[in-house]
Amino acid sequence: MATRSSDTPSRPVPAERPTGRTRASAKGEQTRARLIAAARTLLAGDDSIPFTTRNVAAAGGVTHGMCHYHFQDRTDLILAVVEDIRPEWITPLEEAVGAPGPFAERAERVVGLLTQPEGADLSRLHSALHWFALNDDRVRASLAGEYRRWRSCFVTLYQVLADERGDGPDPRTLGEAAAAAVDGLAAIRSLDEEADAEVDAEAVVRAVVLGLASAGAGR
């Protein structure tokens, strides 16, 4: 029987086709993403459209039944939004603090990041999430966990300072103080347009972050 020689081109192996399960999974992820995007839009809106699973489904172009297939109730949608916005406000801070370098370099990255203006949609989202947290234990627990993660970035930053100095200041005390001051500044700027225009955000954040470092040195 003749055999194929080594220099005879072989027939290309066809690419494996995605299974029905894979296609269904991808479609399901797309539908879920559309619902989360619609939920974000409603939460950041002007409250003219109530935040309900039915309205989210309509905004996302999905049936109400399909919405409940992915999310059991309104709270599940809100929790998904809490997770969805993490890369927009927590992850960048974690990266700024966690990247290599001494305290001075990391502090400069943090100051630069924190003085960037927060988008209007993200600001309204945070306000809406805080309101729901007052009335829903699950939302409150989820949002509290996100803020713990955000505050821990400042503790990590001052831990770097403590390690550099050896017998340095308490990183948790300085970190929590910095987080509280920065969060307060963000609240002021979001509520008071005149203050937002008049306050030099970079100077304030720099004074907080570096001032606390100097204060800690005197312990």
Residue with tokens 């039915």: 54
- Cβ neighbours for 39, distance < 8 A, ≥ 6 positions apart: 51, 56, 60, 77, 78, 80, 81
DSSP state of 46: -
3-state secondary structure of 150: helix
Question: Do 35 and 67 form a contact (C-beta atoms < 8 A)?
Answer: yes
Which pair of tokens denotes residue 219?
A: 């312990």
Q: What is the pTM of this model?
A: 0.82
How far is residue 96 from each of residues 101, 193, 197, measured CA to CA in Å? 10, 28, 26
How does DSSP classify residue 48? S
If we measure between CA atoms, which residue out of 176, 202, 207 comes closest to residue 189?
202
pLDDT at residue number 186: 82
Mean pLDDT split into 10-residue runs, the chain, 219 residues: 42 53 81 96 92 97 96 97 96 97 96 85 91 96 97 97 85 96 84 69 92 74
The two tokens of residue 195 are 């203050």
What pLDDT score does 158 carry?
96
